[in-house]
């Protein structure tokens, strides 16, 4: 018997990185896992590579109509949700002087609006005693140059967990945050940097982490499993920093 036997879990952005590592671990632990992929291309790739493992739904979480379609599908096919990992997000780093309205809106629409309504629209499907995990970041509480917009989106995520914990009965759902540090995931290649810039960024930031390395998606998945399972039954509104010590010193 796995820790998530007979549970239905939804992982947004579960087609790569932390989301995919978590989806695989949740399945190993007995869950029926639904994952989302944002674009047609990523959805078709996930269907080809992962369709035998997971129920995959193409969903851009920033589009409320697509969230409605996602939850209509889950209700019809699975009838409930026991675990929600609101993981989908985008990252970008620019100095404040280079930020324009489109860049700002893209990050807030996905990381804040998208996550908010991912949770809000899931509430009718959540079983009593469900676990909701919000993917934030160490930068929600730490200032890094160039991260003004991204950090603000993740600070909002941290705030949501506090408010929902105060607002929604604990018998209905627990709300906790997973805040990774820098992780070796495909998102590192989507931050608008060249390969040389990405390597320099990775090497530079590794020197600031007490662990002296970037984390791995599988290391985040084990924390997500802890938060999803009854092992964390007394955690409500917590923020778990799985960051190699970056936010601690």
Q: How many CB atoms lie within 10 A of CB 51?
A: 11
Please list the active-site residues: 150
Q: Do the Cβ atoms of 29 and 5 come closer than 8 Å?
A: yes
Across the beta sheet with 8-11, the strand order is 55-58, 32-37, 8-11, 81-86, 126-135, 173-180, 239-242
DSSP 114: I
Residues in the chain: 249
DSSP 192: S
In 3D space, the residue among 134, 142, 147 whose CA is nearest the CA of residue 239 turns out to be 134
């Amino acid at each position: 018997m796995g820790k998530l036997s007979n549970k239905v879990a939804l992982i947004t952005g579960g087609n790569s990185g932390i989301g995919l590592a978590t989806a695989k671990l949740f399945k190993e632990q007995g869950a029926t896992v639904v994952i989302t992929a944002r674009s047609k291309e990523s959805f078709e790739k996930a269907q080809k590579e992962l369709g035998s493992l997971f129920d995959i739904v193409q969903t851009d979480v920033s589009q409320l109509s697509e969230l409605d379609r996602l939850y209509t599908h889950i209700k019809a096919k699975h009838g409930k949700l026991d675990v929600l990992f609101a993981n989908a997000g985008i990252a970008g780093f620019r100095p404040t002087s280079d930020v324009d309205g489109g860049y700002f809106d893209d990050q807030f629409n996905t990381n804040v609006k998208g996550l908010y309504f991912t949770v809000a629209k899931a509430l009718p499907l959540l079983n009593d005693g469900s676990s909701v995990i919000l993917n934030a970041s160490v930068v929600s509480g730490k200032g890094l140059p160039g991260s003004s917009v991204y950090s603000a989106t993740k600070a909002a995520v941290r705030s949501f967990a506090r408010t929902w914990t105060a607002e929604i009965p604990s018998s209905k759902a627990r709300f906790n945050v997973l805040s990774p540090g820098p992780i070796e995931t495909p998102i590192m290649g989507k931050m608008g940097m060249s390969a040389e810039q990405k390597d320099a960024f990775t090497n530079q930031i590794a020197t600031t982490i007490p662990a002296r390395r970037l984390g791995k998606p599988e290391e985040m998945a084990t924390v997500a499993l802890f938060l999803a399972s009854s092992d964390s039954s007394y955690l409500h509104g917590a923020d778990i920093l799985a960051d190699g010590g970056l936010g601690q010193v």
